Amino acid sequence: MVKLRKIFIFTLSLTLCSCGGTPGKLASLAEKAKSYVGYEDNDVNAIQQALPTIMILPSDKLLKDNRCLDEAEYDGKTFTLRDYRKFLAKGTNFRRIISTIQDAFVKDNYPITDFEQAVKNLNTNDAYAIADNLERDAKTMLLQTCHPDIILELDYSANGENVISHDYGNSKKKISYTISAIDAYSSKVESSVSAIGLEGESEEAIFNESLEDKMPKLKEDIMNYFSDIIYRGREVNIKFVVASNGNIKLSQNNIEGDTYSDWLIDFVKTHTVKGAYRMQNNSDYELSFVNARIKLLNEDGTQYGVYDWARDCIKKLNTQLGLNATNASQGLGEIVININGY
């Protein structure tokens, strides 16, 4: 916990330096890291690990208005399908807008996942597959592959139309936009900045000027939020499910004398930050928790996430209780562990 506190204090100092009223170019994190004892003492770049990874995505509204969003029915459920490739092919303005936003974070050494490159790396067939009753559209695949901490969701309209313009001609331009900072794990909107009806000769020039004014608040909100995650843990949901062909009930006693439910509750209690969680369901075949806080970093500064938590739990279930448990997690912020019996 000592190292985590050091990182937390350092992060807050970055927030004050980066987002205060001091004019001029912000000092780089790399330069500040030279004076940070924890950074020099560890093989792992603790400062870089403590900064959120940013990824910029078009909003569903922007996709829909550009005919790049559809719905599909599967087993009585409706799934959203996002066609990012088609969206990127519609024009170059969105690429320029993304580049402008990314540059604003890159200059402060934030890790950035490039949207266009990530889309190119997606397997088209996998991006539209729906299997095991779980949605696996392009957005789901992107998040699973890239693991961003914060999504910057962009809604943008030019000349009153929510369509990517090719910026033909020299007529006066009018733009409106909203950038929402969303926790990629909990899907909670943590901050947003917006502007409506901005006018000028160039969409790009209008946006750049407005963004320069809005960016300090957005960065400050993101850093305050992420500092809180480092200190209090990342918020996730946890679910244990007994398989339909499993030969146990969670209310039964295990080889250690406790019920399986009590053992799992104790594990969650001792493997969340300060025992922060809320039980949602407790039955013979399912045990679930919401608002559970898991640590973000290991003691050596390396990242710790939902996969690591699930792996640690499954190892205990398999070796300590003699169960056959598997990881069925799909989303970034949800841990799903299937218990298949003995």
- Please spell the DSSP secondary structure of 237-276, one letter per residue: EEEEEE-TT-S--TTSB-TTSSBHHHHHHHHHHHTSGGG-
CA torsion angle 231 154 96 91 (round to 10): 150
Ordered DSSP codes for 108-144: TT--EE-HHHHHHHS-HHHHT--BTTB---HHHHHHH
Q: Using an 8 Å Cβ cutoff, are 330 and 292 in contact?
A: no
The pLDDT score that the predictor gives to residue 30 is 31
Please check whether the domain covering 51-228 is classified as CATH 3.40.50: yes
Question: What is the rounded CA–CA span in Å between residue 54 and residue 186?
Answer: 15
Contact 5, 295 (CB under 8 A): no
Decide if pLDDT at 272 tops 60.
Answer: yes
What are the residue ranges spanned by the domains of the chain? Answer: 1-49, 51-228, 234-339
Average pLDDT value for residue range 264-285: 96
Q: Which of 69-73, 90-94, 172-176, 183-187 has the lowest mean pLDDT?
A: 90-94
Any idea which residue has 């946890």 for tokens? Answer: 238
Would you state the pLDDT for residue 161? 53
What pLDDT shows up at residue 19? 36
Average pLDDT over residues 178-196: 93
Taking all residues of the chain, what is their mean pLDDT, rounded to a whole number?
A: 79
The confidence band for 24, taking pLDDT boundaries of 50, 70 and 90, is very low
Q: What confidence tens digit (pLDDT) does each residue in 77-124 have?
A: 777 888 888 888 886 678 888 888 999 999 888 999 998 888 888 765
All residues at 6 or more sequence positions from 92 whose CB lies less than 8 Å from its CB, including other chains = 166
Match 């087993």 to its residue by tokens.
75
| Residue 327's pLDDT band (cuts 50, 70, 90) | very high
DSSP for 54-94 reads: EEEEE-HHHHHHTT-EEEEEETTEEEEEE-HHHHHHT-SHH
> How much of the chain exceeds pLDDT 90, in percent?
44
pLDDT of residue 171 exceeding 80, the answer is no
pLDDT 10s digits, 188-247 = 999 999 999 888 878 888 888 899 999 999 999 999 999 899 889 999 999 999 998 888
